[in-house]
């Protein structure tokens, strides 16, 4: 596995230096840019595996640049994590709507940053052989088949574990019961669609013990969505 190249676009020197240090310690290969102009130059030289992009930058803002990249066939598949000092929920939604893969509010811990980067790289297929899937504070250990929230381990059945694995690797999208059946149980298994509702109910009950039942959302007339955004 090659060391993933990460383009860091951040105008504040101290934060940029901190990000570079954290990434190097986590065995990534960071490339630094102080604004989108420098970032564009770096892109012309090499396509990174991921871009860490500050929202507020001098000149063309991070969010505007991300929007432009997502329209370019050459660049649109590069995963982007937006960094922002703003914590408004509508900013988060806007960030994800323009095609950013994740969104982090400053200040964040180095550990959280690395976990989010790995999660995005894994989802985009750039990081193979990683045994944990992280989404927010949910962690799925795919070797131990364990699900935890923070340091609390959750008691889930094998079916609920598979459902969570599917949801955590496919967040923010709506799936019909038929699609969930195909994806989680497999086409060859005959299960009635309402069985899914039973498992969803159980999963919500487990999550509700941690006040996280809103992660599994019912989309009336269509199916279910798993999302950190309410």
The least CB distance from residue 137 to Ca ion, in Å, is 26
Residue closer to Ca ion (CB basis): 11 or 137 = 11
The least CB distance from residue 50 to Ca ion, in Å, is 19
Q: Which 8-state DSSP code applies to residue 125?
A: T
Distance of CA 136 to the CA centre of its chain: 8
Is position 34 an interface residue for Ca ion (rule: CB under 5 A)?
A: no
Distance of CA 156 to the CA centre of its chain: 22
Q: Are 140 and 169 in contact (CB under 8 A)?
A: no
Is position 91 an interface residue for Ca ion (rule: CB under 5 A)?
A: no
Segment contacting Ca ion by CB under 5 A, of 11-19, 44-52, 188-196, 209-217: 11-19
Preceding omega of 168 cis (within 30 degrees of 0): no
Tell me which H or E stretch contains 226.
Answer: strand 223-226
Residue that is written with structure tokens 């969570």 in the block: 164
Residue closer to Ca ion (CB basis): 61 or 132 = 61
Q: What does the DSSP assignment read for 54-79?
A: ESS-SSS-HHHHHHHHTT-TTTTTS-
The least CB distance from residue 180 to Ca ion, in Å, is 40
Alpha-helical (H) ranges within 62-185 are 62-69, 89-97, 110-123, 158-169, 177-180
Residue closer to Ca ion (CB basis): 49 or 54 = 54
Residue closer to Ca ion (CB basis): 8 or 78 = 8
Is position 56 an interface residue for Ca ion (rule: CB under 5 A)?
A: yes
Segment contacting Ca ion by CB under 5 A, of 54-62, 98-106, 158-166, 181-189: 54-62
Is position 101 an interface residue for Ca ion (rule: CB under 5 A)?
A: no
Segment contacting Ca ion by CB under 5 A, of 10-18, 33-41, 158-166, 183-191: 10-18
Is position 38 an interface residue for Ca ion (rule: CB under 5 A)?
A: no
Is position 35 an interface residue for Ca ion (rule: CB under 5 A)?
A: no
Q: Distance between CA 106 and CA 135 in Å, rounded?
A: 17
Tokens of 108: 């964040």
Residue closer to Ca ion (CB basis): 92 or 123 = 92
Residues that bind Ca ion (CB under 5 A): 11, 54, 56
């Amino acid at each position: 596995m090659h060391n993933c190249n990460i383009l860091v676009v951040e105008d504040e020197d101290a934060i940029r230096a901190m990000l570079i240090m954290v990434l190097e310690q986590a065995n990534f290969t960071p490339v630094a840019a102080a604004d989108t102009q420098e970032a564009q130059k770096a892109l012309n030289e090499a396509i990174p595996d991921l871009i860490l992009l500050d929202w507020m930058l001098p000149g063309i803002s991070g969010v505007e640049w991300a929007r432009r990249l997502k329209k370019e066939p050459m660049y649109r598949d590069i995963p982007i994590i937006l960094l922002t000092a703003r914590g408004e929920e509508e900013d988060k939604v806007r960030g994800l709507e323009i095609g950013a893969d994740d969104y982090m509010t400053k200040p964040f811990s180095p550990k959280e940053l690395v976990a989010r980067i790995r999660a995005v790289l894994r989802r985009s297929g750039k990081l193979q052989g990683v045994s944990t899937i992280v989404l927010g504070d949910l962690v799925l250990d795919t070797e131990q088949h364990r699900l935890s929230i923070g340091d609390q381990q959750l008691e889930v059945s094998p079916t609920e574990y598979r459902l969570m694995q599917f949801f955590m690797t496919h967040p923010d999208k709506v799936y019909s019961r038929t699609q969930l059946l195909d994806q989680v149980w497999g086409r060859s298994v005959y299960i009635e669609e309402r069985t899914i509702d039973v498992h969803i109910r159980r999963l919500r009950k487990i999550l509700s013990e941690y006040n996280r039942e809103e992660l599994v959302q019912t989309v009336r007339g269509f199916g279910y969505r798993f999302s950190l955004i309410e």
